[in-house]
């Protein structure tokens, strides 16, 4: 069975000095438009007590281009897309999915979006609007269809990338009888209900000594000097390597879980709130729980797998997997414990993963006997751990 999806392909590119100047101008204009209308929205709300809509901002853009003629040196599509990004940022803020939008900085990562009418892509050659020659892109993977849009980005370390958005048809994986429960942790990246304990990547921990040394060198450099710029680039390269190592490990583990299991049950963690714990924040950030869950969810959707998250207040660690007896007094230090009811010896993490799996299959309405995945009646009844008396 085939499924149509939107897939992004990201490649490294090596622009010439002239192309670097043009791309930097594009980034600067997009940043200027974003910051200008962000300030306008704030001013309008403060002085006139009303919200400035996206359509009103779009109508003011031609006047802004007349006031600042250098905005006409870059493709107009990128400026319109910058307005759309601002509108999306405010929409997420109103839905309480993100913080209030902040002004974009010149020294941070830069990006510009191009729609289909702002570039040409033929036989592996990409040419942007208002550019005469195609860009030098290193294609590590091939895609068949024409890209619907693309994004040019520049990292803090000075590297240029292009990301194509392509509509593709992928083959869903063959149905299997295996199901799994996954318990995320810090000692281990995750523990499955089958007893498999995945060792964590710990990319940040491995590079922490080097990062501290580079940051110490940066702090000694004079602000505004060329040496400070070089030192900042070295710090950015360390952060980039850590991010790439973490993403590589997450992609490999999620691919394995999706390939081997028909249903994947995980806990609905509030990573944002957990990061407020100063003792655990660095470990959680290094583990990449939020990225792991996000990638696992969309890969499950791509390949026809079931992805379910159980309630974050479900007592998976404090409930005996065998007899369902719950122990409220069980402390976090107890990594192995014996059930007083059925005398079963439990590994805390494996027991939690087994309970997550059972609860996840109950939510899906699947039978847990034999892991066949057939639906059974009475699947939507209230779970035992929420009942009283």
Q: Where are the domains of the chain?
A: 2-171, 179-386
* Average pLDDT estimate for 383-389: 47
Q: Which of 18, 169, 297, 349 is catalytic?
A: 349
Question: What is the pTM assigned to this prediction?
Answer: 0.86
pLDDT (tens digit, 9 = 90+) per residue, 200-209? 899 999 999 9
DSSP 90-124: HHHHHTTSS-------TTS-EEEEEEGGGEEEETT
Catalytic residue among 19, 171, 177, 183: 183
Q: What is the mean pLDDT of the chain?
A: 88
306 is catalytic: no
Active site residue 267: yes
Helix 76-94 / helix 17-48 crossing angle, nearest 10 deg: 40
Going by the DSSP 8-state scheme, the letter that residue 317 receives in this structure is: S
Q: What is the pLDDT of residue 386?
A: 54
Burial of 264 (0-12, 13-18, 19+ CB in 10 A): buried
Number of H helices, E strands in the chain: 9, 14
Res. 385: pLDDT tops 60: no
The pLDDT tens digits for 81-124 are 999 999 999 999 999 888 999 999 998 899 999 999 999 999 88
Active-site residue (options: 267, 286, 358, 359):
267
DSSP string, 132-196: SS---EE-SS---SPPSEEEEEE-TTS-EEEEEEEEEEEEPPPP-S-EEEEEE-SSSSEEETTS-
């Amino acid at each position: 069975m085939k499924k149509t999806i939107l897939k992004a392909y990201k490649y490294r590119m090596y622009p010439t000095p002239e192309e670097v100047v043009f791309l930097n101008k594009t980034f600067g204009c997009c940043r200027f438009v974003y910051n200008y209308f962000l300030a306008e929205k704030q001013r309008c709300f403060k002085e006139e007590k009303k919200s400035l809509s996206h359509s009103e901002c779009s109508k003011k853009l031609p006047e802004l281009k007349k006031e600042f003629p250098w905005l006409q040196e870059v493709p107009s599509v990128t400026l319109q897309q910058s307005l759309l990004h601002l509108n999306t940022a405010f929409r997420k803020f109103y839905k309480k999915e993100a913080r209030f939008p902040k002004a974009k900085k010149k020294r941070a990562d830069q990006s510009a979006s191009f729609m289909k009418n702002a570039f040409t892509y033929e036989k592996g050659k990409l040419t942007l609007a208002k550019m005469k020659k195609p860009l030098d892109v290193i294609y590590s993977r091939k895609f068949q269809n024409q890209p619907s849009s693309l994004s040019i980005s520049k990292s803090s370390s000075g590297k240029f990338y292009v990301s194509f958005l392509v509509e593709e048809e992928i083959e869903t994986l063959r149905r299997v009888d295996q199901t799994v429960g996954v318990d995320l942790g810090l000692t281990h990246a995750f523990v499955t209900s089958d007893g498999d304990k995945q060792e964590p990547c710990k990319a940040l921990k491995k590079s922490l000594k080097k990062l501290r040394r580079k940051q110490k060198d940066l702090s000694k450099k004079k602000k505004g000097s060329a040496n400070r710029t070089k030192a900042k680039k070295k710090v950015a390269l360390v952060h980039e390597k850590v991010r790439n190592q973490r993403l590589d490990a997450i992609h490999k583990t999620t691919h394995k879980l999706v390939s081997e299991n028909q249903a994947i049950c995980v806990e609905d963690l509030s990573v944002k709130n957990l990061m407020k714990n100063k003792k655990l924040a660095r470990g959680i950030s290094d583990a990449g729980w939020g990225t792991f869950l996000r990638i696992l969810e969309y890969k499950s959707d791509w390949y026809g797998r079931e992805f379910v998250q159980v309630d974050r207040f479900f007592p998976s660690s404090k409930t005996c997997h065998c007899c369902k007896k719950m122990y409220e007094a069980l402390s976090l230090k107890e990594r192995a414990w014996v059930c007083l009811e059925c005398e079963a010896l439990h590994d805390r993490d494996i027991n939690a993963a087994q309970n997550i799996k059972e609860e996840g299959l109950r939510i899906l309405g699947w039978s847990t006997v034999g892991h066949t995945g057939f639906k059974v009646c009475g699947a939507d009844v209230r779970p035992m751990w929420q009942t009283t008396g």
